[in-house]
Amino acid sequence: MSVNRPPTATATLGQSLFDVDGALSETAGRLPTRGQFIRRGGRRLAAGAVGGAGLALGIGFVPGSAHARSEREDLAILNFALALEYLQASFYTEAERVGALHGPLAQQARVVGSHERAHVAALRAVLGRQAIARPRFDFRGTTDDPKSFRATAVALEDLSVGAYKEQLPRINSDHYLAAAVAIQSVEGRHAAWIRRLAGIVPAVNAFDEPVSDRRTVQLVNATRFVTLKVPHTSSKRSPSFTG
Amino acid sequence: MNRGGWIVLAVSLIVIACAVTLWPGGHRAPGGSARSPAPGAQASLAALPQPSKGFAIPRPRLLRDRAGVTRWAPVLEAAEARERPTRSSPGVVRVGTQTPEGTTNLVVVIGEAVRHGVTWVHARLAVLPDARTGWLPRSVLGGWQFVMTHLVINRARETLTLLRAGRVVFRTRVGVGKPSTPTPAGQFYIRDRLTRYASPEYGPLAFGTSARSPYETDWPAGGFIGIHGTDQPGLIPGQVSHGCIRLRNPAIRALGRLLPIGTPVTIT
């Protein structure tokens, strides 16, 4: 990395992603916990045993409160996904705006950036007013040169694939699940594309490991890509201009 | 059927009913429909409904051409701007983290260079003589910000024109500097935005620029040029100011809704 700033994403992302303002951990905090996830599985089991006869008669049984809870959990997962998509979309958009990339790498950033922005638009549309706000990012020089960009893009795409993999089985709504699956498979293609450009084997293992929401938050925090240092560009001070 | 056969049939039905319920997809989810059991993950995925209209993934859109995009960054650490991108190069000026108005100082980027592993940023500077540039280490600057706007002020015609992505989005007549204190010409940028102050001569809104008047250096804060409203609208257009760009108040309010910080300013 050619920028003499404290080592961040490129150094830490490779091993193991944001949260100075709490955006990601806030959304992660609303996710169903592993315990809740397992308990829900238990409830499904019990409901299955008790409701077996009902199902055989074609009677569905979904309590109203459970319905609302499922919807809340799904929205939390979608907001968590939105946070990751904000991160990726902003990263590629900045890389393209800076203009330091050329050839296949520039092509990858151009195309993948358009996909990530589409993912953001889709998630924001379905979340409506409940969508979290876009955080302010400082990519700390990782968009300024091809080498830093490539290493960071590999880490971000790998993380995205793992994070989606962890959340997919927790989604209650089939419609949301269908959309999330559609996004996750594209993230897998992005990961393979940038890995190929980086000279890394696109698919190392036969099975991908999921990345927990807690781990995802840790990794994003480590990058320090989300910044609290928002430029203060407005004031109520009386002008001292020449007039 | 004997009694044993009925028991076997009943147990079989319960097992089948449980299997149907527990199949990933057998659970009817809110807003979704029950999935049919299928003999494999692929078939199960294929059985998923299409994402609802509320969750349609839009057609990916490529960014527009980079032409017309200006990059700026806040100054996070005070640093010496250099004539060339090396630490041994003579200093141009010390760039601070705040403007005279107490807002975050920022610089507009016009180039980059890497020397000995250090990224340097070629930036416009808010110093005299106007239109000076200098090199700052990338490390003292914050995250990149981008604008697609460009403000053009024509002193001879006494006009202000705002362009976005190359297209005119706003135009108005303005007051410019008197012949004794002319508005400086050159390439500058918008640094900050001041509102709700108690100085009616500046109107309801003022933008600070990186331009400085060489004729008003003893002015408070060094004679920076602003773009602001007025309490004397009858003087506009005309050569009436000490260097600032004056707009009628409805015009400055309209500009205030369109002009982002970091916008480059060309004064001809």
B111 contacts chain A (CB < 8 A): no
What's the gap in Å between the CA of A94 and the closest CA on chain B?
Answer: 8
Kindly report, residue by residue over A124-170, the tens digit of the pLDDT: 988 888 899 998 899 999 999 999 999 999 999 999 999 999 999 99
State the amino acid at position A206 in one-letter form.
Answer: A
What percent of chain A is modeled with pLDDT above 90? Answer: 48
- Asked whether the predicted pLDDT for residue A55 surpasses 50, the reply is no
What confidence score (pLDDT) does residue B84 get? 97
Cβ contacts of B8 within 8 Å, gap of 6 or more: none
- Asked whether the predicted pLDDT for residue A7 surpasses 60, the reply is no
What confidence score (pLDDT) does residue A28 get? 62
Categorize the per-residue pLDDT at B41 as very low, low, confident or very high, splitting at 50, 70 and 90. Answer: low
Strands A234-235 and B70-74: unpaired
B12 contacts chain A (CB < 8 A): no
Supply φ then ψ for residue B152, to 5 degrees. -120, 125
* Boundaries of every domain in chain A: 12-223
Q: In this structure, are residues B28 and A62 in contact, taking their beta carbons and an 8 Å threshold?
A: yes
Question: Which of the pair, A3 or A122, is modelled with greater confidence?
Answer: A122
CB contact under 8 A, A235 and B102: yes
Residues linked to residue B117 through DSSP beta bridges, in sequence order: none
Distance CA A12, CA A211 (A): 15
Residues linked to residue B187 through DSSP beta bridges, in sequence order: B266
In this structure, what token pair is assigned to residue A20? 């100075």
pLDDT (mean) for A43-66: 38
Distance CA A27, CA A18 (A): 12
pLDDT (mean) for A73-89: 93
Q: How far is CA B173 from the centre of its chain?
A: 26
**Lowest-pLDDT range, A53-67, A74-88, A103-117, A223-237?**
A53-67
State the amino acid at position A37 in one-letter form.
Answer: F
Q: Residues of B with CB below 8 A from A179's CB?
A: 51, 55, 57
Residues linked to residue A183 through DSSP beta bridges, in sequence order: none
**Region A12-223: CATH code:** 1.20.1260.10
Distance CA B140, CA B97 (A): 9
Kindly report, residue by residue over B181-222, the tens digit of the pLDDT: 999 999 999 999 999 998 899 999 999 999 998 887 777 777
Strands B245-246 and B224-228: parallel
Nearest to B209 by CA among B190, B229, B222: B190
Mutate to test the interface with B, among A174, A187, A223 (most CBs of B within 10 A): A174
B213 contacts chain A (CB < 8 A): yes
Kindly report, residue by residue over A191-238, the tens digit of the pLDDT: 999 999 999 999 888 888 899 988 998 898 888 898 877 889 999 988
